[in-house]
Structure 1
Amino acid sequence: MSLVITGATGQLGRLVVTSLLAQGVPADRIVALGRDEERLAGLAALGVATRRVDYADPAALADALVGAERVLLISGSEVGRRLPQHENVIAAAKAAGVRLLAYTSIANADTSRMLLAGEHRATEEAIVASGLAHTFLRNSWYLENYTAQLATYAEHGTVLGAAGDGRVSAATRADFAEAAAAVLLLDRPQAVYELGGAAFSLKELAATAGDVLGQEVTYTDLPADALTEALVGAGFPEPYAAVLADADLGLGRGELYVEPDDLETLLGRPSTPLADALRAAR
């Protein structure tokens, strides 16, 4: 049975490949697809087959999926352009007779009002309409979204957000990748997995960051437009800053909260705690 990982040159994709190998999958059963030739070379060094493929190239996708039995479609990174790219993968998977198409979606994709959820929901609908056997890996936020900002928290002594008292079920990329690998190896995976770790508020994030840093870190709750302005001032492009601020509003509404059961079941253990992730980042 061949396992094809799309987007394998991204951070999550590479971790899925290495997790499959760690779980005992022979390298010759794994096919890694991606755009970055240097990173593909690194994956090839692990013994897996690699193919340079762009989501925007239907012909290359069709060739790459010939003989594939299970495919993990890792969502594209180009917000606003992802649906047609994903539809190319879905069409290629259907043409290849893929037995299972797994897709990395977002938490509560079918009900979330977040801007980021729209393309995920539309992709899920396209997969269902294709008639392919499928499973949706609805990942909550990456802990890395916060651990990458640890130096900023230390510099300014605060965590900025627009989430109020909302709680986010964030987990590490490595945990989400390990769960995805586990799903690809199940005989009969669930149709939907709502995946996330132990939830925390941004106020609790600030307190935990302060403990790790050995200094006071507070949480500053802002209106979404003020948070957008602050992110632009920090160097984010305005459209992306607005999407991030909107995501915080969704966090505040509970749209990034899920119970940890699905992730813990797939991992066979609790997910990585926030404090441990912050310590590792430091």
Structure 2
Amino acid sequence: MVGFMDIVVTGATGQLGRLVIDELLKRASAERIVAVARDPAKTPPLARLGVRVRMADYDRPRTLCDAFSPGDRVLLISSDQAGEVRTTQHAAVIAQARAAGVALLAYTSVLGADTATFEIGRDHRATELLLRDSGLPYVLLRNGWYNENYTGYLAATLTHGRVFASAGPGRVATAACIDYAAAAAEVLTGEGHENRAYELSGDRAWGLAEYAAEVTRQSGRGVGYTSMPEAEFRRFMIEAGVPAEDADALVDADAAIARGELAATTGELRELIGRPTTPISDSIRTALERQAPQFSS
């Protein structure tokens, strides 16, 4: 790793950001790593690792002025907002990175963003265009769906004995969050990645009926899969307390899964991290141990 200053990770206190920091510490010294966060209360665990912490907020562009320095390699972890808000936030980060003269800006996009027909994909495509037009050396990390998108709700799934969605028989090539974190760390510390788009996904696609069957096998509790019509699933989520905007995005994403937009198994994630991606069965096992031990067999 020569020819650049620091490695800067935005959104460093989130699930992906924290794992990226851990992966970077395997590849670089702590004093070369900068964690950017907006909530000071969440930063002490990072500071204890020896990395430098800087405070900045995507919604307050002035706070970004001291986030980057000439020659830095930066990971822009996408905002959890949607639509124009997300694009505006990302535009502020890109503008400041350009003004600072960073050496590389990597961005966590979504699988197939350039052709995606669902809202999340269109949002990421808007940021990709901004990044390409910025003139900065860039890397597009087009992350597929995470195993944790499903195993994160495993306790509720076991309580109800059902997986609810509106994806029909659609298949999804997920990988674990740690896999995507390892890929980001590899790009930030390696060479030859400039101006590339990586389509990152798991080694194998699976369907939700298969997921339900694997949960049943590992937990010893009967779990089935119910695919609802989109309007019914949206209503179900809202009645369960999911904000309407989030419910709309989830229904839209399930429709994309039903169309096969998140099923591609490109092998690029496996190649970047130098090992197989984490299968959904492994993540189910981990979730049973950590999140719902009362359900484990």
TM superposition score category, shorter chain reference: over 0.9
Aligned to 1:94: 98
Is residue 100–residue 135 contact of structure 1 (8 Å, CA) maintained in 2? yes
Matched, 1:42 2:45: yes
* SS across alignment from 2:65: helix
Matched, 1:60 2:63: yes
Q: What is the distance in 1 between the residues matched to 2:186 and 2:127?
A: 22
Is residue 195–residue 260 contact of structure 1 (8 Å, CA) maintained in 2? yes
Indicate the RMSD between aligned Cα atoms, in angstroms.
Answer: 1.2
Q: What is the distance in 1 between the residues matched to 2:243 and 2:6?
A: 40
TM-score, normalized by length of structure 2? 0.91
Q: What is the distance in 2 between the residues matched to 1:212 and 1:226?
A: 29
Choose which of 262, 266, 274 in structure 2 pairs with 1:268.
274
Q: What is the distance in 1 between the residues matched to 2:189 and 2:175?
A: 21
Is residue 65–residue 93 contact of structure 1 (8 Å, CA) maintained in 2? yes
Alignment of 1:1-282 (within 5 A): 1-23=5-27, 25-80=28-83, 81-189=85-193, 191-197=196-202, 198-282=204-288
Instruction: Tell me by how many angstroms 1:68 deviates.
Output: 4.6
* SS across alignment from 2:127: helix
Instruction: Tell me by how many angstroms 1:112 deviates.
Output: 0.8
Where do 4+ consecutive residues of structure 1 move more than 4 Å?
none
* SS across alignment from 1:116: helix
Is residue 153–residue 209 contact of structure 1 (8 Å, CA) maintained in 2? no
Number of residues of Structure 1 aligned to a counterpart in Structure 2: 281
TM-score, normalized by length of structure 1? 0.96
Which one-letter code corresponds to 1:240 in the other structure? D
Q: What is the distance in 2 between the residues matched to 1:201 and 1:214?
A: 20
Q: What is the distance in 2 between the residues matched to 1:243 and 1:231?
A: 11
* SS across alignment from 2:74: strand
The C-alpha deviation readout for 1:37-70, integer Å capped at 9, x for no partner, is 1222211111111111001222221221123521
Which one-letter code corresponds to 1:245 in the other structure? V
* SS across alignment from 1:124: helix
The C-alpha deviation readout for 1:109-143, integer Å capped at 9, x for no partner, is 01111111121000000000111111100111111
The percent of aligned pairs where both chains have the same amino acid is 47
Q: What is the distance in 2 between the residues matched to 1:264 and 1:47?
A: 30
Which one-letter code corresponds to 2:59 in the other structure? A
Which one-letter code corresponds to 2:150 in the other structure? Y
Is residue 143–residue 172 contact of structure 1 (8 Å, CA) maintained in 2? yes
* SS across alignment from 2:112: coil
Instruction: Tell me by how many angstroms 1:237 deviates.
Output: 1.0
Q: What is the distance in 1 between the residues matched to 2:205 and 2:138?
A: 27
Is residue 147–residue 281 contact of structure 1 (8 Å, CA) maintained in 2? yes
